[in-house]
Structure 1
Amino acid sequence: MKYFKFLLALCFISMLLSCGADDDICENGEGTPGMKVSFLTFADKKVKTLDSLYVAVDYGSGKVQLGGLAKITSRVIPLRVDDSPYTDIYFRTENNGAESKVRINYSTKSVYVSPGCGIKRTYENLNSVLTTSTMAPVKGIEDGQNFIENEDKTNLYLLF
């Protein structure tokens, strides 16, 4: 019985000592932010709602399809988190339609956030280059805010 009480007390003390703060998850958007893309009409630069938009991103090992969304005026797209100075993003308005390629050039900076989140990547000096064909849906681009610290401000405007 003595050993049982000792074992029970030892378990109780170890449970008390193992309790800690919940720092195993990223809260409040502390992780690496994505790039916010909004849509405008080509003629008069007014906000445009797209019936559908399909996005693919090349993260260094080929295109990754991010899927499509309907009835949207903006979309947040994650960029590469390796040491590459650019990310290629492909936009389509139809599932199997023609696509427009936009290369996002930037410089990166790493910032330590917390033990749970680790390192957050921020992007600076953003500039975009549109590579398109005559059938591509995106007619032009306009740069927005030229750095990414959070997902609040629009960084790129696509003209349709």
Structure 2
Amino acid sequence: MKYFKFIIFIFVLSTVISCGGDNDICDNGEGTPRMKITFKRDNKISVVDSIKIYADLGSGIIDLGWKIKVDSVFVPLRVDDSPFTDVYVQTTTEEDPTKVRVSYTTKSIYVSPGCGVKRNYENVNSVLSAPNSLKSVEQGQNFIENEDKTNLFFNF
């Protein structure tokens, strides 16, 4: 019986000790970054009353929902080998969505055993098709390695 308790104690102790370290989960912002889009009106950063963003991430169009009274949004980009992501923008339910094609080159970087590999995006460019309430798109920082800087400005 003494040996059984000792074996159980060693098992529990080894389980507690081996319960991972800091790199078991990816919660320090080390994952694949999203693209930051800021809104402008009359060449000044401005708050939009409402905006709906969709993104085609390869497995279908993902609805990011309506955002109310915001000056910027974060949009995920495709993580497959596609060189572009289509983003759709709508400010009212009555208008048709405006398509913005965001093209880039990707670079994979190993982060940790818990996070695995993240994608960074370089040479980010955009093309606006059929302007609606979204009048133009302005280039910001042309690479995405974190979510600190604005990559695109949407002019309304």
Give me the whole-angstrom Cα distance separating, in 2, the residues matched to 1:155 and 1:93.
20
Change in Cα spacing, 1:29 to 1:16, as seen in structure 2 (3 Å) is closer
Change in Cα spacing, 1:63 to 1:127, as seen in structure 2 (3 Å) is same
Show the counterpart of 1:82. 80
Show the counterpart of 2:39. 39
**2:136 is aligned with 1:140:** yes
Structure 2, unmatched stretches of 5+, are none
Q: CA RMSD in A?
A: 1.6
Out of 141, 145, 155, the position equivalent to 1:149 is: 145
Structure 1, unmatched stretches of 5+, are none
Q: Is the 8 A contact 1:88 1:101 kept in 2?
A: yes
Deviations 1:42-88 (A, max 9, x none): xx311121000100011123321110110011111000000000000
Report the count of equivalent residues. 156
Q: Secondary structure in 1 aligned to 2:4? A: helix
Q: Secondary structure in 2 aligned to 1:76? A: strand
Deviations 1:96-150 (A, max 9, x none): 53211000010000000011111010000011000015xx221111111100011
What's the TM-score once normalised by structure 2's chain length?
0.92
Give me the whole-angstrom Cα distance separating, in 2, the residues matched to 1:16 and 1:79.
38
% identity of equivalent residues: 55
Out of 46, 49, 65, the position equivalent to 2:47 is: 49
Q: Is the 8 A contact 1:99 1:137 kept in 2?
A: no
Change in Cα spacing, 1:101 to 1:16, as seen in structure 2 (3 Å) is closer
What's the TM-score once normalised by structure 1's chain length?
0.89
